[in-house]
A and B are shown apart, each in its own frame.
Chain A
Amino acid sequence: MAVVYQKSKGLTDNELHYCPGCNHGIVHKLVAESLEELGLLDDAIGVCPVGCSVFAYNYFSCDMQEAAHGRAPAVATGIKRTHPTQPVFTYQGDGDLASIGAAEIVHAAMRGEKFTTIFINNAIYGMTGGQMAPTTLIGQKATTCPLGRTQEQAGMPIRVSELLSTLDGCVYAERVCVTDVANLNKAKKAIKKAFQLQMEGKGFTFVEVLSTCPTNWGMTPLKSIEWLKENMIPYYPLGVVKDTSAEVK
């Protein structure tokens, strides 16, 4: 008998607290599996954010540090600079990374800090009950833009992969999603590649995962997948946004 698929050793046995259908659980698995398959679990140190995934330290089986809101890239800098041969990653949501942590992620990318950031973009603030995020789409409703986001009030949503790609220190940025198995496989490949490039010492690597938030979008998990495809992908195009890793020695 052969095992075709079982839960990764990179995850603990703890039950995930996420809502039904939340993409966090899927992405946690992809990160865990990537680390396991690359043989990096035993050396890995992860940094989790403030947001729905604040408890990620209970779900990943590697050593973990909880960071203050938005500060994960600075925390990861402190870890990676002093542990340069070990894999270090941050796992952050759109409030953590693109709002309060905007300075930290930009400067980590600017400095080319050799850690990997997994960015969960679900266009809303989950943990605190559905407020507008920097990535909330025009017209999308959230509790702090109840009539729908407008450009006049809140500006246009931010495309983080493109923003970070303007920095030389960022050598790889790809945007993916996990709406179906084909996209999930691409997402896993991207995450694995990001870690591989980190271990080769290439520079800052970044994977943006468009994700659903069924609860705060007010939809079923399956409907939210449709919403993501119809609304998020046109504004946040999937694919490799930057890959200069081959040019780095």
Chain B
Amino acid sequence: MEKELWKGNEAIAEAAIRAGCDCFFGYPITPQSEVPEYLSLHMPQHGKIFVQAESEVAAINMVYGAAGSGMRAMTSSSSPGVSLKQEGITYLAGAELPAVIVNCMRGGPGLGTIQPAQGDYFQATRGGGNGDYRTVVLAPANIQEAVDFVQEAFDIADQYRNPVLVLADGLIGQMMEPIEWHDVSKRQLPAKDWAATGRKGRDHHNIINSLYIDPNECDDFNSHLAKKYQLIKENEVRWDTKDTEDAELLITAYGTPARIVLTALEQLRAAGIKAGLFRPISLWPFPEKPLHDLAGQSHIKAILDVEMSIDGQMIDDVRLSVEGQKPISYLGHAGGVIPTVEEMVEAGKKALKEAE
């Protein structure tokens, strides 16, 4: 299959079109503005809907309306804009609506910087919105994964009637890489007979809603959601590993830093250190069991978590998964500063030394 050179944001946008996205609602914010820009031109060309909303708040609510009436709807933004969407996301989850949300993370907190970062892991996996809900979170490490995950996200969202977040960063958004537009696995999807499409002869009206004012009803509804999330945990966990079979140092990383870790592994191995990478791809549901089991192997002596975050956020899930079996240390930068290969090698050596 032929490879094509694409800029990340534009590829993400094109992926949505290829996935049959019916409508996109977005707002400009660096470093993802090329997503709405590309779609503002191409969606109408495909007879699909594009609206530049007045804010990220409005955009996520337009997604809600379209999703509630049975359409494949998507929005994209970057960290501060995704903060604005938190209300909309919990409403989507509470109304059991499928939707795809792309976050090209940038430095924070607050206005932060336009450079890439990974400071929204908590927001994505712990839910910045209120209530007991979850979003499926997929973290691409390159543009190929980004386009594959965006396409799959629509099916995952439809299958489970839940919002799906593709957690990228400014690097993926802005850089150019060769990719293939290959077929992405399609799922058997249920009909959207729950959607508010207009009755059109249906014998009952459909209501899209997250209000369950009776406490017992609310409790029951939350139990229903919990069962759904359990099903997602059983079916949608994804991760990748490199050189972990004999590793003494295990590095955990997700997204673009994981690529830099690959180079660090080579250098560490050249220096006589058996290093391996465990890369979570689904951040929720997090690959707890695979990481737990791997950490328990006797050859693993120490774990180093690397993130574009000042103190780490995924590290909490790493700690929860490892359950104290091995010592964990951390390397990270915030503010758009990306950990270097040299820093990773140094930190890796230090982690092993401290474990002795």
**A-side interface residues toward B, CB under 8 Å?**
12, 41-45, 47, 54-55, 57-58, 60-68, 71, 74-79, 81-83, 86, 103-104, 106-107, 111
Taking a contact as CB atoms under 8 Å apart, the answer to whether B197 and A83 are in contact is yes
**B-side interface residues toward A, CB under 8 Å?**
22-23, 25, 49, 51, 53-55, 57-59, 61-69, 71, 73, 87-88, 91, 95, 196-201, 205-211
Q: Which of B22, B25, B58, B199 contacts A42 (CB 8 A)?
A: B199
Cβ of A201 to closest chain B Cβ, rounded Å:
16
Report 21 cross-chain contacts, Cβ distance below 8 Å, ordered by A residue: A41-B199, A45-B69, A63-B69, A64-B209, A65-B65, A66-B207, A66-B208, A66-B210, A67-B61, A68-B64, A71-B88, A74-B53, A74-B59, A75-B64, A75-B68, A78-B61, A78-B64, A78-B66, A81-B49, A82-B66, A104-B54
Point out the residues of chain B lying under 8 angstroms from A58, CB to CB: 207
Cβ of A181 to closest chain B Cβ, rounded Å:
29
Taking a contact as CB atoms under 8 Å apart, the answer to whether B199 and A78 are in contact is no
Taking a contact as CB atoms under 8 Å apart, the answer to whether B199 and A62 are in contact is yes
Taking a contact as CB atoms under 8 Å apart, the answer to whether A42 and B200 are in contact is yes
Taking a contact as CB atoms under 8 Å apart, the answer to whether A63 and B206 are in contact is yes
Bound CA span A4–B91, Å? 43
Point out the residues of chain B lying under 8 angstroms from A82, CB to CB: 22-23, 49, 66, 69, 71, 73
Taking a contact as CB atoms under 8 Å apart, the answer to whether A57 and B71 are in contact is no
A interface majority secondary structure: mixed
Q: With A61-B205, A66-B210 in contact, is A79–B66 under 8 Å at CB?
A: yes
Bound CA span A67–B69, Å? 13
Point out the residues of chain A lying under 8 angstroms from B91, CB to CB: 68
Cβ of B70 to closest chain A Cβ, rounded Å:
8
Q: With A82-B23, A83-B198 in contact, is A65–B208 under 8 Å at CB?
A: yes
Q: With A81-B51, A103-B54 in contact, is A63–B23 under 8 Å at CB?
A: no
Q: With A68-B61, A71-B61 in contact, is A78–B201 under 8 Å at CB?
A: no
Cβ of A44 to closest chain B Cβ, rounded Å:
6
Bound CA span A120–B68, Å? 24
Bound CA span A121–B87, Å? 25
Can you list the 9 inter-chain pairs with the closest CB atoms, starting with the nearest?
A78-B65, A75-B65, A74-B61, A78-B66, A63-B196, A78-B62, A71-B61, A107-B54, A66-B209
Q: Which of A66, A74, A83, A106 contacts B69 (CB 8 A)?
A: A83
